[in-house]
Structure 1
Amino acid sequence: MLKAGGAGVTLAGFRRTTSPVAEIEGIEPVDLGATRDGRFAQRLGAVAKAAMSIGAKLGAMPTPDLIIARNLEMLALARRANAALGANVPIVYECLDIHRLVLRDDFVGRTLRGAERRLARDVKLLVTSSPAFIANYFEPFGQIVAPVELIENKYFETASGVAARSLEDDSPASPPWRIGWFGALRCRRSLELLADFTRRQAGRFEVVLRGRPALSEFPDFHGFVEAEPWLSFEGPYRNPEDMASIYGQVHFSWAIDFFEAGQNSEWLLPNRLYEGCRFGAVPISMADTETGRFLKQRDIGVLLPEATPESVGAVLGRMDQGRYRDLKSRVLARNPRTWSYDRSDCAAFVKKLSGLATMPSNFATTEAAA
């Protein structure tokens, strides 16, 4: 979005790969080292090490007009970069998830929230992706006093004015009904729930999984999927190149995540919500989540009252062509801009950021490993 909006971008951050990443979206990133998924102590050590070397690593670059810090540890490094560069560059804090550690009511949680308040005390803008993050965390805990910009996890159109898919492009509206679960696959409860449901339906429903599974969250992801007759894992995909194709092969999109139940998982508005609806897949969500409320306000999607095979069966089990056509037509009737950002949105966002900078032209972003 920054590049499409006309900003010059320098990218710095951690990686999860063993070797440095050569390029991201045509940009050669400044490598700050490796971190490991779910290893909090290791990440703290990596941040401390990066703080010692960030001045040297950024020393050859021009002083940026603005720094965007893409989570709490990056916010610490952004302030360190300012000190190392001998500058006072405005900082924007982007927070797209509320980690369970900062919500703990103990020493660890209080320490992390206190650190966030100190580090964010003079940021110029908070960028986040769901209003529930503001209502359930930032406001009640008094974390940020800066203005807020809501940038939802919408699909990015490579060109403006792309029309939504029409009903004539539909996959066959008949069993087996196919549910697509795409993206970051990290929810063991969802996997087990879908396996149980499809077994009970005995072939009327199939589940297609695509993306990158968090293998640390599953005892044996690949073995589990292979043993289930109506589950299949089709591997990673390219975004945006493959999006129309993969969602065009399914009827429904699984927009449910129990990974941090009661907290982040109930507050977020995930990428798969927007991507699926953009390409005509009917979203499935829990009713009592921010995603469920989002869908209910727009009178679209399938909302589950409980996370049980019986509940899924009661809501979906009697699906027929008429009901499916109605559900899909409601999704396709929405303005495509509900689901997508285009280049005009990017330009507007960069213009807003430029207003925070002294000489708006070049932005630096500090980014965590994806």
Structure 2
Amino acid sequence: MPHILYLAHDLADPAIRRRVLTLQAGGADLTLAGFRRGSDSKVAGDIHQPIELGVTEDARFLQRATAVAKACFTLSTRMKSAKKPDVIIARNLEMLAVAQRANSLFGGDIPIVYECLDIHRLLLRTDALGRVMRAAEARLGRNVQLLVTSSPAFVENYFRPLSGLDAPILLVENQVLDLDGIEIATSIARPPAQNAAWKIGWFGALRCRKSLDILSRFSRAMDGKVEVVLRGRPAYSEFNDFDALVAAEPHLSFHGAYRNPEDLSGIYENVQFSWVIDFFEEGLNSKWLLPNRLYESCRFGAVPLTLEGTETARFLKRRGIGVIVPDVRVETLCDTFQTMTTELYAESFSGLAAQDPAQWTFDRADCRGLVQRLAILAASPRLTPTFPSPTATTRVNLHD
């Protein structure tokens, strides 16, 4: 199996820990290197000692670009004891620059994989800055041998029509990492006790100001009939004062971070519905993504609540599950939950429970399959015929 150099944009991001666990479960030997996002941040979870490249800050593009440039300049020193990798994986655009520098240090013959699970708004601008950013991505990705992304809509709306990338595409969805065969009794509905509130969970990367505002106003309007439970990692740079905003809401509460996937069952089993709506890159990335919380809520029996016209809604419609609202006006959400009965909830839950749970998870066999695909690159780094052409997309564990 290959030795992989994994370059992470944020070592504190739980998603990085999940990918490290995925690659290790697939049999890969791993070197992890990356940035800490904020000087006070820590490496996520229990992943082994990484090579730290510096500190970057949320919502400060120029600072991050400068930090990447400095890291590239000092990379030979930082990597002096690292084993030559068979494959380099760059998570996000900023790490693609580091990957190119690392490749040159190790001889220039290592295949590079570009893992892009979000499309940054700068790449989608229609002005000169947007064109410059896309040109930079195309240049940095000129010898990328594989592009990994998580939603078909990213391919349809950005990578094929807009990006200048010319590489085979591998679709790896944001499924729940399940290395131990988790058994969950999702066939048993969990309605609230008589006269108790419906509970909606908003879990994961909490970065959407609009969602927080909507959920605050909606829960207040329902006057105790709906409670909103927040868990995860707030992006404090996106809120004026996240803690104060949450504390001021009588029907909204934040219960801190959690371990993913270890704690997912417990947090989802305490809610009936899951907020699977995002406006972080409104109309663009937020419309196209298939987020972690979609697969998590389906796997652990919380009915996903999402917005019409999004890739998430299309995903749920194909399976005939979930609650899809036409808009997120407070009046619309109130109408949805004022008419919510135990019977309607049970019907939504039963549709979810009837699904094949394997489609929500990424198990050890999937991990091995992913690493084997990377091993193909390592075995023939200058050849790509083993993969589909750049206009095609290969999927890992997609159950339609």
Q: Deviations over 1:186-217 (max 9, x none)?
A: 11111111111112211111000111212222
Q: Is the 8 A contact 1:55 1:85 kept in 2?
A: no
Provide the rounded CA distance (Å) in 1 between the counterparts of 2:29 and 2:357. Answer: 28
Q: Deviations over 1:175-196 (max 9, x none)?
A: 4100000111111111111111
Single out whichever of 171-180 and 234-243 deviates more from structure 2: 171-180
| 3-state SS in 2 of match to 1:211 | strand
Counterpart in 1 of 2:116? 95
Q: Is the 8 A contact 1:65 1:359 kept in 2?
A: no
Provide the rounded CA distance (Å) in 1 between the counterparts of 2:184 and 2:267. Answer: 15
Listed as ranges, the gaps of 5+ residues in structure 1 are: 361-370
Residues 358 and 341 (structure 1 numbering): CA distance in 2 closer, same or farther, change over 3 Å?
same
CA deviation after TM superposition for structure 1 residue 167, in Å: 3.4
Q: Deviations over 1:238-262 (max 9, x none)?
A: 2122111110100000001111111
CA deviation after TM superposition for structure 1 residue 19, in Å: 6.2
CA deviation after TM superposition for structure 1 residue 59, in Å: 2.1
Residues 23 and 193 (structure 1 numbering): CA distance in 2 closer, same or farther, change over 3 Å?
closer
Single out whichever of 171-180 and 46-55 deviates more from structure 2: 171-180
TM-score by length of 1: 0.93
Counterpart in 2 of 1:365? none
Provide the rounded CA distance (Å) in 1 between the counterparts of 2:380 and 2:207. Answer: 42
1:151 equivalent to 2:184? Answer no
Alignment of 1:232-251 (within 5 A): 232-251=253-272
Residues 2 and 264 (structure 1 numbering): CA distance in 2 closer, same or farther, change over 3 Å?
same
Listed as ranges, the gaps of 5+ residues in structure 2 are: 1-21, 382-400
Counterpart in 1 of 2:322? 301
Q: Percent identity?
A: 53
Q: Is the 8 A contact 2:36 2:43 kept in 1?
A: no
Alignment of 1:1-370 (within 5 A): 1-18=22-39, 21=42, 25-160=46-181, 162-168=182-188, 170=190, 172=192, 175-358=196-379
Quote the RMSD (CA, aligned, Å): 1.8
Residues 351 and 236 (structure 1 numbering): CA distance in 2 closer, same or farther, change over 3 Å?
same
Q: Deviations over 1:92-147 (max 9, x none)?
A: 11000000011111222111100111111221111000010001101111422211
CA deviation after TM superposition for structure 1 residue 87, in Å: 3.3
Q: Is the 8 A contact 1:180 1:252 kept in 2?
A: yes
Residues 21 and 176 (structure 1 numbering): CA distance in 2 closer, same or farther, change over 3 Å?
closer
Provide the rounded CA distance (Å) in 2 between the counterparts of 1:239 and 1:96. Answer: 18
Counterpart in 2 of 1:367? none
Higher relative contact order (CA 8 A, sep 6+): 1
Amino acid at match of 2:336: V
Provide the rounded CA distance (Å) in 1 between the counterparts of 2:163 and 2:228. Answer: 42
TM-score by length of 2: 0.86
Single out whichever of 216-225 and 94-103 deviates more from structure 2: 216-225
Residues 235 and 178 (structure 1 numbering): CA distance in 2 closer, same or farther, change over 3 Å?
same
Q: Is the 8 A contact 1:173 1:321 kept in 2?
A: no
Aligned residues between the structures? 359
Provide the rounded CA distance (Å) in 1 between the counterparts of 2:145 and 2:380. Answer: 15
CA deviation after TM superposition for structure 1 residue 72, in Å: 0.9
CA deviation after TM superposition for structure 1 residue 7, in Å: 0.3
